[in-house]
């Protein structure tokens, strides 16, 4: 479940191993580029943490962030 923390939508995804985590990031990158809305994200072995906010709107959560979160959830 996405959480609202410090004006960001935040979610941590856990996978079986690094390869699955990296494959998820690769799939997500297609959606990210399609929506032209790039998150702050990090990967540590089998975990991927994504933080979404809209910089152009003053670093707040907007419909762009909610749409990207929804689309990312669809590929997990």
Three-state DSSP at 49 gives: strand
Q: What is the pLDDT of residues 19-50, one digit of tens each?
A: 999 999 999 999 999 999 999 999 999 999 99
CA-closest candidate to residue 48, choices 74, 5, 11, 76: 11
Between CA 10 and CA 6 the distance in angstroms is: 9
Q: pLDDT band at 11, cuts 50/70/90?
A: very high
List Cβ<8 Å contacts ≥24 apart for 55-59: 59/7, 59/8
pLDDT of residue 50: 98
Q: pLDDT band at 59, cuts 50/70/90?
A: very high
Q: What is the pTM of this model?
A: 0.94
Domains of the chain: residue spans and CATH: 3-74 (3.30.1360.20)
């Amino acid at each position: 479940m996405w959480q609202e923390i410090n004006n960001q939508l935040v979610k941590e995804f856990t996978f079986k191993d690094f390869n699955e985590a990296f494959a998820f990031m690769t799939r997500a990158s297609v959606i990210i580029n399609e929506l032209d809305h790039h998150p702050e994200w990090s990967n540590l072995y089998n975990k991927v943490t994504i933080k979404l906010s809209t910089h152009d709107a003053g670093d707040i959560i907007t419909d762009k962030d909610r749409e990207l979160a929804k689309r990312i959830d669809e590929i997990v």
